[in-house]
Amino acid sequence: MALSSCSPIRSSAYDEKHVWELTVHEVQTNLDDLRHDVKCFQTELQILDGRTKYSENAIAMLKQELSQVDKLSGQLASIEKRWSGIEKNQKTEEIQKLLAHANETTLALTQFKDRIQELEGELLARGPKISSKTYTVKAGDSLEKIARVHGTSVDKVKKLNRLEKDHIVPGQELALPNE
């Protein structure tokens, strides 16, 4: 029993329909991919458009600022011309009066400075000597604990360190009065 007939494989209607469905599905997939790519490109174009508008606005602002700088430069040149004219027109007598007044003021200020230094010296000589030591705040410390350990009060520690609140932090340096 030998089969000697060689006939080409015939495809059935079901096979052709299946091939057609696969082709349609492939075309739809390709269309979906193309739609996705188009949407991506549209998004990128919108981003680029936004950047372009931002850049255009920035350039416009810079141009405005540049025009303002140009205006200010012109005004500055005008002021410089006026100033040099004023300097040329100043009378020597007025300048001498101003210099004399400046010298008197300098002398008075020097005398005040000397008197302040004398008064500070007297205050230091008369006043109580306040010396202090420093303490570095550690974790778990409070102003009350530090004051108690060092034999002083919270108010004195706050006053010496110019603290308005009781809040301290580790690593903070505090001056403590020597009592």
CA distance 27 to 16: 16
pLDDT, residue 101, reads 92
What residue segments make up the domains of the chain, in order of their start? 15-89, 91-127, 129-179
Q: What is the per-residue pLDDT across 99-120, written as a single tens digit (0 to 9) for each?
A: 899 999 999 999 988 898 888 7
CATH code at 129-179: 3.10.350.10
In Å, how far are 67, 95, 117, 145, 179 from 80, measured between CA atoms? 20, 20, 43, 66, 64
pLDDT of 1 over the 50 cut: no
Q: Is the pTM of this model over 0.75?
A: no
Q: What is the per-residue pLDDT across 138-164, written as a single tens digit (0 to 9) for each?
A: 999 999 999 999 999 999 999 989 999
- Smallest CA-to-CA distance from 148 within 163, 162, 135 is with 135
Cβ-proximal residues to 163 (8 Å cutoff; 6+ apart), any chain: 143, 157
